[in-house]
Amino acid sequence: MADSKVYREDTCTICLQNLESEAFVTLTQKGLNKVHQSSLECGDVSLYEYLTAGPGCVKIHVTCRRDYTNQKRISVLRTDASEFTHDGPVKKLRSLCNFFPVEN
Ligand SMILES: [Zn+2]
């Protein structure tokens, strides 16, 4: 427990900075579940455990929530950089586009 982060109600639960510095939101149960799930997917153990404990009130920056629950960011984190291919998904998207009829 020595190095565990300290979560407080007047700081952002994601970045641990002062809430007042940016726009922030108080998470609803649904929002909380989303962040909880993201912390699990990111392997953010301290946040995951904090949210598992069921804190009464979780406040985070709007931008932090957007970034933290961004599926693209999570998949990059989960995929080892060496396995990440740039053109795979793009090719798939292109063939989907071609499938769409173009003539009017
Ligand atoms: Zn923040």
Note the pLDDT tens digit of each residue in 26-51. 999 999 999 999 999 989 999 999 99
Confidence (pLDDT) at 2: 47
More confident residue, 45 or 89: 45
Task: Give the Å distance between the CA of 16 and the centre of ligand 1.
Answer: 6
- Would you say residue 6 has pLDDT above 70? yes
Confidence (pLDDT) at 56: 84
Rounded CA gap, 13 and 74, in Å?
Answer: 18
Task: Give the Å distance between the CA of 75 and the centre of ligand 1.
Answer: 21
Mean pLDDT of 67-90: 67
Q: Where are the alpha helices (DSSP H) in 2-104?
A: 29-42, 45-52, 62-68, 71-78, 87-99
- Would you say residue 17 has pLDDT above 80? yes
Task: Give the Å distance between the CA of 61 and the centre of ligand 1.
Answer: 4
List Cα–Cα distances, 82 to 32, 41, 44, 92, in angstroms. 32, 19, 21, 20
Query: pTM of the entire structure?
Result: 0.67
User: What percent of the chain stands above pLDDT 70?
Assistant: 71
Asked if 59 and 26 touch (Cβ cutoff 8 Å), the reply is yes
Task: Give the Å distance between the CA of 77 and the centre of ligand 1.
Answer: 19
Token pair recorded at residue 103: 């003539």
Crossing angle of helices 29-42 and 71-78, in 10° steps, is 20
Task: Give the Å distance between the CA of 101 and the centre of ligand 1.
Answer: 44
Task: Give the Å distance between the CA of 1 and the centre of ligand 1.
Answer: 23
